[in-house]
């Protein structure tokens, strides 16, 4: 077994437990994946004379801080409201209601899932572009998007 796989098997519960104190519960798995990706990416900096746990938790702390800094405030820019009038100039109540439903459902998603979906659908970015912007592996973006869309579908009752 490769050392990283062994470290993951052995130390992932410790990292998850540590992260639960700092990041929302729905984001712990995603941040854990980022921690072990970072571990693999910077494996040349690990000093075998030092504690693996301390090194991993140091990386976990930095990734938790990065994750929390990347979170958006709970406000919606005015431009995001869009045009609320129909073709005849009157308010489109059905469109407003539908938009409100989607916004409320999006707000119930974990931040990382919502962020991936918003960047894809509202930001018109590809998954690769999202991966580069968020500095996370492409597989993480795909997983977040898939999980988020599945949960969004359930919340909207379209599953």
CATH of the domain at 88: 1.10.10.10
pLDDT attached to residue 78 = 46
- Which pLDDT score, from 0 to 100, does residue 90 have? 59
Report residues of the chain scoring pLDDT below 70: 1-2, 72-96, 158-159
pLDDT at 58: 92
Same domain (yes/no): 58, 99: no
> Which structural domain, as residue segments, surrounds residue 36?
3-70
Residues 49 and 95 in one domain: no
Specify the pLDDT at position 44.
87
What integer pLDDT is reported at residue 42 of this predicted model? Answer: 87
The predicted pLDDT at position 91 comes to: 56
- Residues 8 and 64 both lie in one domain: yes
Do 140 and 93 belong together in one domain? yes
Other C-beta atoms lying within 10 Å of the C-beta of residue 97: 10
142 and 116 both lie in a single domain:
yes
**In the prediction, which pLDDT does 7 show?**
82
């Amino acid at each position: 077994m490769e050392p990283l796989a062994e470290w993951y098997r052995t130390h992932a519960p410790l990292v998850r437990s540590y992260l639960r104190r700092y990041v929302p519960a729905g984001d712990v798995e995603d941040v854990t994946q980022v921690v072990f990706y970072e571990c693999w990416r910077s494996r040349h900096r690990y000093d075998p004379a030092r504690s693996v746990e301390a090194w991993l938790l140091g990386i976990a702390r930095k990734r938790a801080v990065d994750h929390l800094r990347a979170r958006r405030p709970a406000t919606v820019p005015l431009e995001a409201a869009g045009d609320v009038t129909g073709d005849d100039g009157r308010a489109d109540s059905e469109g407003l209601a539908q938009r409100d439903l989607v916004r409320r459902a999006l707000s119930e998603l974990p931040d990382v899932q919502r962020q991936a979906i918003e960047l894809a659908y509202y930001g018109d970015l590809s998954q690769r572009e999202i991966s580069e912007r968020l500095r996370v592996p492409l597989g993480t973006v795909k997983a977040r998007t898939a999980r988020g869309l599945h949960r969004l579908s359930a919340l909207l009752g379209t599953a």
